[in-house]
Amino acid sequence: MTGFADGLRDRLRRLFQRHGSVDLKPFRRIVATATGDAEALAGWSDARLTEAAQRLRTTIGESRDTEKKQRGKRGGAKGSGFTDAQASEFCAIGREAADRTLGLRPFDVQLVGTMALLSGHVVEMATGEGKTLSGALAAAGYALQGHRVHILSINDYLARRDAEWMAPAFELLGVTVGWVAETSTPEERRAAYAADITYASVSELGFDVLRDRLCTDADELIVPTPDVVMVDEADSVLVDEAKVPLVLAGARGVGVDDQEMTKVVRRLRRGRHYEVDKDERNVSLTEAGAAEVERALGGVDIYSEEHVGSTLTRVNVALHAHALLHRDVDYLVRDGRVQLINASRGRVALLQRWPDGLQAAVEAKEGLAVSESGDVLDEITVQALIGRYPTLCGMTGTAMPAAEQLYEFYRATIAVVPPNEPCIRIDEPTRLFATRSAKEDAIVAEITARHSEGRPVLVGTQDVAESEQLAKLLEAADVPCVVLNAKNDAEEAGIIADAGAHGRVTVSTQMAGRGTDIKLGGHDGKDRERIVELGGLAVVGTGLHPSNRLDQQLRGRAGRQGDPGGSVFFASAEDELIVQHAPEAAAKLSADEAQEFTGRGAQQAFAHAQRVAEGVGLEIHRNTWRYTSLVSHQRRLISEHRDELLRTDLASRTAAEQHPKRHAELVEELGEETVEQAARLIALYHLDDRWADHLAYLADLRESIHLHALAKENPLDEFHRAAIPAFNKIRTDAADAAADTFETAEITSEGVDLDSEGLRRPSATWTYLVNDNPFGSEADRAIGALRSMALGGRRSSQRSRRSED
């Protein structure tokens, strides 16, 4: 009955509790008291401030029990870890420390945000209201309470920037800080995680957690036990990033260079030989296309039993790379390599790649050498990664539009902190057009008009190719601009610093959409008053995003801290959003001579397309979690067992039970430590190998699970029915294999040479960029079939060897 009661209570909560209704009054009382202490602290020395902060660290535990009793009588900063008196003292000390070291004196609303974060909420604060400082002070507060804090951002640039920016304040408060980036070495990562506060992007943290799963020595582990996680741009990380799992792969050899199939599909023409669906996500051969492919391959029947599982799969993968993956949109070619672009960030994902067959097909398409292929070693979703932490809090400027998802998937509640100054930005209605060319003409005219006034303009585009195309159009119109995209991300800081300068036009992908503060007048602010008179920063969106929340993020770059500003978005019936989600509604609209749609009906049609896209994204997120929650549970159980093998003598004790005579002889000859390490390496190898096998099995299972839906069966039930028994065999099979290896392997004073036993660990690792849709697409299944073909021989030979052993 407990589960039923919990479910009923949850439904009632969702029905009656308003999101964003967290009471801020207790936090305001604490901040008001802290404000009264400000004058006294101004005369303190730096050393005295540090001493006062450290005194909080040593005394906090003594007062927790007393405060818990008092809260029941008078309310207070529930869950903050501080007594009200300690919280007030911390706010006063933190404000003074920030003022002295950073030249930033937190407003009262910033300290209210700090207290809400310390109480475990996701805080909504408008753009430019100082979330970075609020978060840093909250992190310091958690650290003084004895917690280890991980602050997760959407990219490496922001992680490093914020860590270095806030470091002087942390130092004065007596807490340590580190940061992790994609280029950080293992030693640098270990040092960063050893600090009280660690800044990192969510992907870097996730991949460090996955890489720890490959360690064979406890001293090599990098990520400490999870404690407190603070998520910057929480809706972006917890919602937008959640649909893409973090996947770690290991090299197993050179991939297949399928130049033959690449040449074949290059001859094919869209509309005649193949068709692309309206979503631009699936491609299929027509009868004429199949005939052309068969002719080019020497007259084979690609649908025959002999070729349907091999040749046809190769055709489908090559065609997917040819027709659906576009240079400068989905990937760049730089330094002789294909570099993927993370769509939600607009940045290059240096260590990410597609699954083997598709990666090789794109490389062949670009005439590049095919890189190594690999096996999936482990994977984790953002939701499972965040779920490891006992305490979650976060901050963003657009929490309320994602409130339902944040609560549904993370049980996160929203505290809405009002701005220090009212927002006076003017947001114009979206301008809608029948064709993309008419939209582009109107965008260029809008930018030209604002530029002629001397007003700074920030233009938000959807991808690299669009940013460069728009730059060419502006050049033709004699409007100079600066382009910021994945190709020049190293220049981001300088470009953004001057994006608010007089007459500056900045064309950017999503990179400039989050975590950046554009100051009027540029980095030195010399033209600030002049630009204020002109109306502030003008934001131009070249298309509607799949979620209105993403549009609001771009709008939020203007109008910070009561500054003037404006925004306007442009969209067309030929945009991907409309073509995918509301083509019928757009077809009913009538345009004027300039091909522009006007009237309420047009606005409603485009808003409908956006709502449909949001619904699709939410359902994919739900489906992803329904499937991956079981895998996450299984991964946790395997990780616990692996950790026991890694940190204890369990493997050696098990070997002694299974082969007592050999174990005793080896101990006598080589010593207990050598035998224990050898047994550990053997056990870890076989456990990791069985887990990788299990993940491959689950991938194959999910690729075929859509057939159950077609048969009117519940795919999720069938997935669980197959996945659970398969998992239950892992530990037993791994233990049996480890026992066999321990009995036959050559173990010397140098340890055990697993390579000579044919048990080779991956020589290199990277990450896969995948679209985690449980039902998959035809392309997903084709890629899966190609992977299965490539892995089949290796897996079969391994199992044959095991059965022989």
As a whole-number percent, the residues of the chain with pLDDT over 90 amount to: 49
Token pair for residue 86? 């300690």
pLDDT class of 51 with cuts at 50, 70, 90: very high
Residues making up the annotated binding site are 110, 128-132, 517
Report the relative pairing of strands 747-748 and 537-541 from DSSP bridges: unpaired
Domain-terminating residue out of 563, 598, 633: 598
Same domain, 692 and 558: no
Mean pLDDT for the chain?
84
Same domain, 647 and 747: yes
> What per-residue confidence (pLDDT) applies to 768?
55
Poorest-confidence range of 4-13, 38-47, 230-239, 521-530? Answer: 4-13
* Most confident residue range from 256-270, 417-431, 752-766: 417-431
Contacts of 115 (CB under 8 A, 6+ apart): 26, 27, 30, 31, 77, 80, 87, 91, 138
**How many CA atoms lie within 13 Å of 158's alpha carbon, on the beta-carbon side?**
23
Same domain, 391 and 361: no
> What per-residue confidence (pLDDT) applies to 803?
39
More confident residue, 228 or 774: 228
Angle 801-803-805 (CA atoms, 0-180°, nearest 5)?
A: 70
Whether 489 shows a pLDDT value over 60: the answer reads no
Residues making up the annotated binding site for ATP are 110, 128-132, 517
More confident residue, 771 or 705: 705
**pTM for this prediction:** 0.80
Dihedral, 418, 424, 425, 426 alpha carbons, nearest 10? 130
Domain membership of residue 400 (yes or no) is: yes
Whether 581 shows a pLDDT value over 80: the answer reads yes
Domains in the chain, number: 4
Same domain, 411 and 441: no
pLDDT per residue as tens digits for the range 246-276: 888 776 555 556 778 888 888 899 889 998 8
Q: Which whole-number Å values give the CA distances from 209 to 203, 313, 447, 488, 642, in the listed order?
A: 10, 34, 45, 29, 13
User: CA-to-CA distance for 265 and 262, rounded, in angstroms?
Assistant: 5
pLDDT per residue as tens digits for the range 95-152: 999 999 999 999 999 999 999 999 999 999 988 889 999 999 999 999 999 999 999 9
Contacts of 66 (CB under 8 A, 6+ apart): 83
Same domain, 358 and 281: yes
Give the end-to-end CA distance of the chain in Å, rounded to a whole number: 49
CATH number at residue 144: 3.40.50.300
Domain membership of residue 509 (yes or no) is: yes
> What per-residue confidence (pLDDT) applies to 684?
96
pLDDT class of 774 with cuts at 50, 70, 90: very low
Contacts of 268 (CB under 8 A, 6+ apart): 274, 285, 289, 292, 293, 319, 322
pLDDT per residue as tens digits for the range 149-176: 999 998 888 899 999 999 999 999 999 9
> What per-residue confidence (pLDDT) applies to 308?
67
Report the relative pairing of strands 596-597 and 747-748 from DSSP bridges: unpaired
Whether 426 shows a pLDDT value over 70: the answer reads yes
Domain-terminating residue out of 598, 626, 652: 598
Domain membership of residue 129 (yes or no) is: yes
pLDDT per residue as tens digits for the range 684-728: 999 999 999 998 888 778 766 666 555 667 888 888 999 999 999
Token pair for residue 163? 């860590």
> What per-residue confidence (pLDDT) applies to 515?
59
Same domain, 768 and 624: yes
Token pair for residue 634? 């299984």
> What per-residue confidence (pLDDT) applies to 265?
87
Same domain, 46 and 161: yes
Same domain, 431 and 412: no
More confident residue, 29 or 757: 29
Dihedral, 694, 700, 702, 708 alpha carbons, nearest 10? -120
pLDDT per residue as tens digits for the range 372-397: 666 778 888 889 999 999 999 999 99
pLDDT per residue as tens digits for the range 523-561: 888 889 999 999 999 999 999 999 999 899 889 889 988
pLDDT class of 493 with cuts at 50, 70, 90: low
User: CA-to-CA distance for 114 and 106, rounded, in angstroms?
Assistant: 10
CATH number at residue 350: 3.90.1440.10
Whether 4 shows a pLDDT value over 60: the answer reads no
Instruction: Give residue 206's domain range.
Output: 15-242+383-416
Same domain, 399 and 431: no
Q: What is the DSSP string of 85-129?
A: HHHHHHHHHHHHHHHHHHS----HHHHHHHHHHHTTPEEE--TTS
